[in-house]
Chain A
Amino acid sequence: MHVEVFGPDPPCQRCTAVVKSVERAASTLKPEGIDVTVKKLNIMSKDVVSKYGVLMSPALTLNGTVRVMGRVPSSEEIGRLIRETAR
């Protein structure tokens, strides 16, 4: 499962919080056999805008689909989302 987290560069507090949530979720999902790769991307890069359009930071995508925008999801919520998507 590819998870991308979008935020400005240098990172803001809330975007860092999302990355941490994803990492926590990833460690609980590993025993269930779900491998999660996290990538932090710059929301202000042209590549990101041309692929996803205008996003609000922090944003999160799962396998290339934007699922969270402008808020900090908990690690439980991210875990739930990843499980649903993996199914």
Chain B
Amino acid sequence: MTDKTRTVRTTVLLAFVSAVFGALAYSRITAYSLAPAMKPADFRGLPPWYVPVAYLADYFSHAWICLTFAFVTAGLIYEFIPKEAITGHMSGRKATGYGLALGIAPFLTVCSCTMVPLFAGIVYSGAGLGPAITFLLMAPSANILAILITGELLSWELAGVRVVVSTVVALIAGIVISKTPWGKAVEREHQVGSSNPKTAVEVVKLPLDERLLASLKFGGYLAKQILPYFILGLIAVSFVEAHLPEHIVGEYLTGVRGVLIASVMGGPLYTPTLVEIVIGRGLWQMGMSRGALLSWLMGQPYDVANAVAVSRIARWKAVLTYMAIAWVGSVAFGLLYGALSGSL
């Protein structure tokens, strides 16, 4: 490829990225709502086939800007984060391991097929089970996509709280499990001895246009993976909003009982990435308390597929321990946030 075509390609791609960022900034300046505008009451009386249509149209007419922004940003960050530098440091000391797990999980793990392999890598390479568990819990609850969408569709306060609470819970779970007898047994079993593999890594650096294209492609790949579930989730929520009487939500999803129910709903419902946000938003609109909403958002690490994959490495005892800690964390912080924000 000639230098000229490269420059043109880079310019076009940068223009696209700027346009996406600009659209978000513009919507901020003009105070245009990126969250859907219809209320549950608007759906009452609509014919059943029209409920999801109206809901999807309302959602996408407002949320497309923030969805596009979120996927483009996730792709860019994933591409431009220095992956080899990070993975190179991962096999080091425990403190570094915890720091890296917390710092990078939000950026690297927007794709579930990277998550479990990295978990295995951290365990085997000597950083230990603690940082690996921290990484595993931090990734789904506080990844860049989830946080951006939580901020845009729910509230930025809640997004901030979600990050802080995820960090605390993930760190506690990691440290506690690494101190348990079964956690130590797993570490001993899997230690492969310190190796110095850095000499064998010479990752290719691509020109800017190819990196931009790769990041947009990755953003597109994420969208293709996530959006079908997102749309299914929206269709489900549209019926819930149209038919579930609000007094039931107000009765069962508020107070201490509300937090407890919200914290366990995520398990059997098994909601894929981002769907927890739209379901949470629907229930919140119908009267769920903020405390229960946080608890619902935090109650996601019961992801069965991941738990099975992880149990092959860390054994069920460790998996059940981190699930229990995550559950207690989601209840405790749900109650605390509910009490502090005056919406329990």
Range, interface on chain A: 20 to 34
25 contacts between A and B (CB under 8 A): A7-B113, A7-B117, A13-B113, A15-B113, A43-B121, A44-B120, A44-B313, A53-B121, A53-B195, A54-B88, A54-B121, A54-B122, A55-B117, A55-B121, A56-B83, A56-B117, A57-B114, A64-B200, A65-B201, A66-B84, A71-B79, A71-B218, A72-B214, A73-B204, A81-B204
* A69, B124: Cβ atoms closer than 8 Å: no
Cβ-based interface call for A30 (8 A): no
* A65, B202: Cβ atoms closer than 8 Å: yes
* B200, A66: Cβ atoms closer than 8 Å: yes
Given contact pairs A14-B111, A44-B116, A68-B204, a sample of 19 additional A-B residue pairs in the complex whose CB atoms are under 8 Å apart:
A14-B113, A43-B121, A44-B313, A46-B124, A49-B120, A51-B195, A53-B88, A53-B91, A55-B87, A56-B118, A65-B202, A66-B201, A67-B202, A70-B78, A70-B108, A71-B79, A71-B214, A72-B214, A73-B204
Bound CA span A69–B84, Å: 7
CB proximity to A under 8 Å, residues B152-200: 190, 192-193, 195, 197-198, 200
* B87, A57: Cβ atoms closer than 8 Å: no
- Contact partner of A50 (CB less than 8 A), chosen from B108, B114, B193, B218, is B193
**What residues on B are CB-neighbors of A34 within 8 Å?**
none
Cβ-based interface call for B90 (8 A): yes
* B202, A44: Cβ atoms closer than 8 Å: no
* B121, A49: Cβ atoms closer than 8 Å: yes
Cβ-based interface call for B125 (8 A): yes
**Per-position 1/0 for A9-37, Cβ under 8 A of B:** 00011110000000000000000000000
Bound CA span A15–B202, Å: 19
A9 to chain B, nearest CB (A): 9
B225 to chain A, nearest CB (A): 8
CB proximity to A under 8 Å, residues B105-132: 108, 111, 113-114, 116-118, 120-122, 124-125
Given A8-B117, A71-B79, A49 contacting B125 (CB threshold 8 A): yes
Q: Which A residue sits closest to B214, measured CB to CB?
A: A71
Bound CA span A87–B250, Å: 71
A47 to chain B, nearest CB (A): 8
Cβ-based interface call for B221 (8 A): yes
Most chain B Cβ neighbours within 10 Å, of A15, A43, A64: A43
* A67, B203: Cβ atoms closer than 8 Å: yes
Bound CA span A27–B206, Å: 23
Given A14-B221, A43-B121, A71-B79, A50 contacting B195 (CB threshold 8 A): yes
**What residues on A are CB-neighbors of B79 within 8 Å?**
71
Bound CA span A44–B124, Å: 9
Most chain B Cβ neighbours within 10 Å, of A46, A65, A71: A71
Bound CA span A54–B200, Å: 12
Bound CA span A33–B26, Å: 56
Bound CA span A70–B206, Å: 13
**What residues on B are CB-neighbors of A8 within 8 Å?**
113, 116-117
Bound CA span A68–B221, Å: 18
Bound CA span A14–B201, Å: 21
**What residues on B are CB-neighbors of A14 within 8 Å?**
111, 113, 221
**What residues on A are CB-neighbors of B116 within 8 Å?**
8, 44
* B83, A69: Cβ atoms closer than 8 Å: yes
